Chains A and B, each alone.
Chain A
Amino acid sequence: MIVADRKPLEEILNSIKDYKKIMLAGCGGCVTICFSGGAKAVELLASQIKMAGKKEGRDIEIVECTPERQCEYEFIDELKKDLGSVDAVLSIACGVGVQAMSQRHPDTITIPGLNTKFMGYPIEHALWDERCAGCGDCVLEWTGGICPIARCAKKLLNGPCGGSANGKCEVDKDTDCAWQLIYDRLKKLGKLDNLKKIREPKDWRMSTNAGQRRIKFEEAML
Chain B
Amino acid sequence: MKSDSRLEKVLTAGKFAVTAELGPPQNADPEAIKKKAVGWASAHQVGGASPTLRSCVDGANITDNQTAIVRMSSIAAAAIAISCGVEPVVQMVCRDRNRIAMQSDILGAAALGVKNLLCLSGDHQKFGNHPQAANVFDIDSVQLIAMVKKMRDEKRFLCGDPIKEHEPRLFIGAVENPFADPFEYRVLRLAKKVEAGADFIQTQCVFDVEKFARWMGLVVAEGLHKKVHILAGLTPVRSHKALVYMKNEVAGMSIPDELIKRMESAGEPKEEGVKICLEMIEQVRNIEGVAGIHLMPIGWESITPVILERAGLLPRPEV
Could you tell me which A residues sit within 8 Å of B by CB distance? Answer: 153-168, 170-171, 177, 179-180, 183-184, 192, 195-196, 198-202, 204
B252→A170 contact, CB < 8 A:
yes
Q: Which 8 A-B pairs have the closest CB atoms?
A: A162-B177, A170-B251, A158-B142, A165-B251, A163-B251, A159-B189, A201-B139, A156-B140
Bin chain B's interface residue count.
Answer: 35 or more
Q: How many A-B residue pairs have CB under 8 A?
A: 99
Closest Cβ neighbor of B142 among chain A residues: A158
Closest Cβ neighbor of A163 among chain B residues: B251
Cα distance A166–B181 in the bound complex, in angstroms: 7
Cα distance A170–B251 in the bound complex, in angstroms: 6
**Assuming A160-B180, A198-B196, what are 17 further A-B pairs, CB within 8 angstroms?**
A154-B95, A154-B137, A156-B137, A158-B192, A159-B142, A159-B189, A161-B121, A162-B180, A170-B252, A180-B182, A183-B182, A195-B185, A198-B143, A199-B143, A201-B99, A201-B147, A202-B139
B140→A164 contact, CB < 8 A:
no
Q: Which residues of B contact A155 (CB under 8 A)?
A: 137, 140
Closest Cβ neighbor of A169 among chain B residues: B251
Neighbour of B181 across the interface among A167, A195, A198, CB < 8 A? A167
Q: Which residues of B contact A192 (CB under 8 A)?
A: 188
Cα distance A171–B128 in the bound complex, in angstroms: 11
Scan B91-102; emit 1 where CB is below 8 A from any A CB, else 0: 000110001000
Cα distance A199–B251 in the bound complex, in angstroms: 25
A158→B143 contact, CB < 8 A:
yes
Interface of A is mostly: loop
* 17 A–B pairs (Cβ distance < 8 Å), ordered by A: A154-B135, A154-B140, A157-B143, A158-B143, A162-B180, A163-B180, A164-B180, A166-B181, A168-B251, A177-B181, A180-B182, A183-B182, A192-B188, A195-B185, A196-B191, A198-B195, A199-B142
Closest Cβ neighbor of A173 among chain B residues: B251
B137→A196 contact, CB < 8 A:
no
Closest Cβ neighbor of A156 among chain B residues: B140
Contact flag A160-B181 (CB < 8 Å), given A165-B251, A196-B188, A201-B139: yes
Contact flag A157-B252 (CB < 8 Å), given A180-B181, A198-B146: no
Cα distance A201–B177 in the bound complex, in angstroms: 22
Q: Which residues of B contact A204 (CB under 8 A)?
A: 138
Neighbour of A160 across the interface among B126, B147, B185, CB < 8 A? B185
Could you tell me which B residues sit within 8 Å of A by CB distance? Answer: 94-95, 99, 121-124, 126, 135, 137-143, 146-147, 158, 175-177, 180-182, 185, 188-189, 191-192, 195-196, 204, 251-252
B137→A164 contact, CB < 8 A:
no
B141→A165 contact, CB < 8 A:
no
A164→B252 contact, CB < 8 A:
yes
Q: Which residues of A contact B177 (CB under 8 A)?
A: 162
Cα distance A163–B189 in the bound complex, in angstroms: 14
Cα distance A195–B124 in the bound complex, in angstroms: 23
Closest Cβ neighbor of B123 among chain A residues: A163
Highest count of chain A CB atoms <10 Å: which of B94, B121, B140, B141: B140
Neighbour of B142 across the interface among A153, A166, A177, A198, CB < 8 A? A198
B124→A165 contact, CB < 8 A:
no
Q: Which residues of B contact A156 (CB under 8 A)?
A: 121, 137, 140
Cα distance A197–B223 in the bound complex, in angstroms: 18
Neighbour of B204 across the interface among A154, A158, A162, A196, CB < 8 A? A162
A158→B99 contact, CB < 8 A:
no
Highest count of chain B CB atoms <10 Å: which of A159, A166, A168, A196: A159
Highest count of chain A CB atoms <10 Å: which of B176, B177, B189, B191: B189
B158→A201 contact, CB < 8 A:
yes
Minimum CB–CB distance from A70 to chain B (whole Å) comes to 29
Contact flag A162-B175 (CB < 8 Å), given A154-B135, A155-B137, A170-B251: yes
